[in-house]
């Protein structure tokens, strides 16, 4: 087993949320922007999109960082089969949350770890499904929430690690970190499969 501190660990992401999550496991990692097209393919389902983008992010960064362990992750929000993207504007965020009111949204988080210490690279993948049940939300509650937290860069228009938790009836998940964007339980499992000692 190789100790995690002795590995060149690279997070294929510029997301501050993923950076903060990975820092719970280790402070010793680099971040590299994957620079890929994140648009969905024709007829691509939300879970397939999350998994493909996680793999593509890791693959692109691993190609430029031989000898590294590269982590790619991506998340999609699925409302009855409809992909909910990042809202980017207050109006879009309010509309997304109104659509989610009193409904269930499924979050698919794809994870890929590429071991670029060997050729060919070893590719390990995992997938997390988290079901978020929203409480009934009126327009004033939605407007106050969006104004206060500005969740414009979050799929589904909320931050569960912040005030967004107040919008829910319940969450069904095997890994609470998955909803923030990087499933740490699955990540630790994949790192162990790559023979990396975490603790």
Catalytically active residues are 74
Give the C-alpha separation, 186 to 174, whole Å. Answer: 10
Question: Is the distance from CB of 171 to CB of 135 less than 8 angstroms?
Answer: no
Give the C-alpha separation, 122 to 127, whole Å. Answer: 17
Question: Is the distance from CB of 128 to CB of 183 less than 8 angstroms?
Answer: yes
The widest CA-to-CA distance across the chain, in whole angstroms, is 56
Question: Is the distance from CB of 62 to CB of 124 less than 8 angstroms?
Answer: no
Identify which of 71, 64, 67 has the alpha carbon closest to the alpha carbon of residue 126: 71
Identify which of 149, 47, 148, 134 has the alpha carbon closest to the alpha carbon of residue 97: 134
Interstrand relation of 82-84 and 69-79 (parallel, antiparallel or unpaired)? antiparallel
Question: Is the distance from CB of 177 to CB of 21 less than 8 angstroms?
Answer: yes
For residue 128, list its beta bridge partners: 109
């Amino acid at each position: 087993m190789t100790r995690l501190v002795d590995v060149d660990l690279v997070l294929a992401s510029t997301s501050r949320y993923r950076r903060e999550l990975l820092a719970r496991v280790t402070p010793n990692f680099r971040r590299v922007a994957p620079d890929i097209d994140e648009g969905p393919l024709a007829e691509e389902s939300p879970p397939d999109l999350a998994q493909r983008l996680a793999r593509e992010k890791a693959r692109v960064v691993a190609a430029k960082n031989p000898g590294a362990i590269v982590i790619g992750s991506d998340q999609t929000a699925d409302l009855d089969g409809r992909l909910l993207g990042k809202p980017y504007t207050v109006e879009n965020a309010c509309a997304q949350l109104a659509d989610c009111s009193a409904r269930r949204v499924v979050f698919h988080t794809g994870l890929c770890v590429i071991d670029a210490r060997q050729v060919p690279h070893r590719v390990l993948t995992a997938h997390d499904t988290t079901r978020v049940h929203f409480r009934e939300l009126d327009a004033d509650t939605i407007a106050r929430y969006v104004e206060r937290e500005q969740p414009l860069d979050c799929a589904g228009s909320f931050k569960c690690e912040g005030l967004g938790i107040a919008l829910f009836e319940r969450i069904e998940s095997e890994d609470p970190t998955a909803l923030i964007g990087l499933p740490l339980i699955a990540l630790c499992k994949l790192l162990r499969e790559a023979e990396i000692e975490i603790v």
